[in-house]
Structure 1
Amino acid sequence: MRPLELADKIDQGQSPVVVDVRTGFEYRSGHIPGAISAPIWKILLRLAPLPRDRNVELVVLCELGPRAWMGKILLGFLGFRTITLLEGHMAGWRRAKLPLAM
């Protein structure tokens, strides 16, 4: 999913669940509004605050991409069916000058 497409969905109240797999420090330094913080280690230990509904649409991101791919695979193993990656990840979101929450 492209950053502008996600921003439009957020604005329209039709946002998928945005899963930020960066570290807690990275998340607190600025994240997509409404995103949940779910670092890879928390997903592995099943400590991340993930939705119960495994059919919900997830958009996964990290800073540049590698951790998001790992997150996508792990979330698939946990039974989530609709998982996409944010194109450009947080770096792309910032390049597009889209809003950040702190």
Structure 2
Amino acid sequence: MAERIGIRLEKEIPEKDLGKPVFKYRGHVLVWEKDPAHIKVYAWATVNLFPGRPLAVDINSTARLLELPPREVRESLARLVRDGDLVRTMERGRNLYRIIIQYGGGTN
């Protein structure tokens, strides 16, 4: 997943046409126009959510930033929770999310 959101190499150019850059962080493109919605939301989450503290997600502003309809942001958050990339909790009637950092497998 990290390779798809542009973290692998700083000067890497996509091998195929992914459309225009949609979401950048510190000068690096993390999301392209043609990326699926859940990839866009995951990239956003890597920058805006934390592993230790759950935070609220403003669906509408996230949707505008990622050029997605709010429904797709909600569906992507639900998918990332199902896939184990995010944890959702409820506090005072609000959904809060925290990211799960999954380190590469391998045995020592």
TM-score higher than 0.5 here? no
TM-score calculated relative to the size of structure 1: 0.32
* Larger Rg, first or second structure (1 or 2): 2
Higher relative contact order (CA 8 A, sep 6+): 1
TM superposition score normalised by structure 2:
0.31
Which has the larger share of helix?
1
